[in-house]
Amino acid sequence: MNRSREPFCPPWAHGFNLNRTAISIAVMAMGSLCTIADAQDVDWWPMLPNVNPVLDGQAAPPVGEWDRADYVLNRQGDGTFRAQWQRNWIATSASLNQVQYPGVTLFDMHDLWGYLTSDTADYNTFEYTLGATSVRGWVFANDDEPDDSSWIGNSELGYTSVDDRGFIVRLNGNSATDFHWLPGMPEPGDPLWNWDSSYGFFGRAGFNNSTFTEALPLNGGGPPGEVYEVALFGGAQVWLNATGGSGFTPCSTTIDVIVLDPKSGQPPMPLETKIFGPGHVNIPAPSALALFGLAIALRRRRR
């Protein structure tokens, strides 16, 4: 089932590959029987026009910022991946400045409710590829880890040590392009923020139980855990170039997501992803419907 070849945007669940032998799951959703096997898909679902996420490593405020996101358990079963998109996003910075960014912005969350201990060596990796353009970000949690030798060898950063706060983003696998954002620097919403410097990428981590307090599906039940929020702005020059100037287009743009497990050293896993149009609505339903799409299991590094 190759969704990237579909010329239209049907409002039903996509299949996915659980990466387990001889496993096939079927769920009834929105009147369509979806066989979940031999494909790897995940969808960004549209937000209400008046909802503008705040990239602060938690599900709120504002209330409702993740209510319409697609969601699914990650491959390890210890967290939930959420995906959504917004048009003409109004970003609010930590300094409460606001700027509106025209076009489509993608938002991803990895809610690692299974990790109940905050560690200075925590992080997640997000990589997006469209055609010949690839952007990979390492989003760091907490404060700088003084002994990077415990994790950095598996990170694929290529450094022996680094100030692991904020995030590092890389274009097309070339470390010479690395941009390192640190807390206190301009961010989305600030007048001096420049999306081209970060190749359209921004991420922030938190440690909280905000998905539980907001009653989001598959929230882990209450204890605080790691939460990673990422935005990918389609109006950055690299993505405009990759899309022929159009930016991300609902029901048209398909982006490959590569998942790496830095602890186990598993090989990259390409995922087919598609941006759905505004007619595609996430209707709350039993937890089986959380199997829509494939979780991008962006696990933290472990000692």
The dihedral sign for the CA sequence 201, 248, 134, 229: positive
DSSP letter string, 136-162: EEEEE-SS--S-GGGTGGGTT---S--
Rounded to the nearest integer, the mean pLDDT of the chain is: 75
DSSP letter string, 231-281: EEETTSHHHHHHTTT----TTT-EEEEEE--TTTTPPPEEEEEEE--TT--
Residue 50 lies in a domain: yes
Question: Residue 168 above 60 pLDDT?
Answer: yes
Two structure tokens written together for 163: 């100030």
Selected residue with higher pLDDT from 22 and 114: 114
Predicted confidence band of residue 271 (pLDDT cuts 50, 70, 90): low
> What is the distance between the alpha carbons of residues 284 and 79, in angstroms, rounded to a whole number?
19
Residue 29 lies in a domain: no
Partners of 27 in the β-ladder: 34
pLDDT digits (tens, 9 = 90+) for 148-167: 887 888 888 999 999 999 99
Domain extent at residue 107: 39-291
- What would the mean pLDDT of 109-133 be, rounded to a whole number? 87
Question: Residue 33 above 80 pLDDT?
Answer: no
Tell me the percentage of the chain whose pLDDT exceeds 90. Answer: 46
Residue 95 lies in a domain: yes
Partners of 178 in the β-ladder: none
Domain tally for the chain? Answer: 1
Residue 240: closest CA among 249, 252, 250: 249
Residue 221 lies in a domain: yes
201: left (phi over 0), alpha (psi -120 to 50) or beta: beta
Question: Residue 107 above 80 pLDDT?
Answer: yes
Residue 9 lies in a domain: no
- What would the mean pLDDT of 116-122 be, rounded to a whole number? 81
Residue 12 lies in a domain: no
> What is the distance between the alpha carbons of residues 36 and 273, in angstroms, rounded to a whole number?
15
Range from 75-79, 169-173, 231-235 carrying the lowest mean pLDDT: 75-79
Residue 251 lies in a domain: yes
* Residue 200: DSSP 8-state: T
**pTM summary value:** 0.78
Residue 106 lies in a domain: yes
Predicted confidence band of residue 270 (pLDDT cuts 50, 70, 90): low
Instruction: Give pLDDT, residue 81.
Output: 83
Q: Is the peptide bond before 61 cis (omega within 30 degrees of 0)?
A: yes
Two structure tokens written together for 251: 């029901």
> Which residues are CB-contacts of 287 (< 8 A; sequence separation ≥ 6)?
217, 218
pLDDT digits (tens, 9 = 90+) for 183-239: 999 999 999 999 999 999 999 999 999 999 999 999 988 899 989 999 999 999 999
Instruction: Give pLDDT, residue 279.
Output: 53
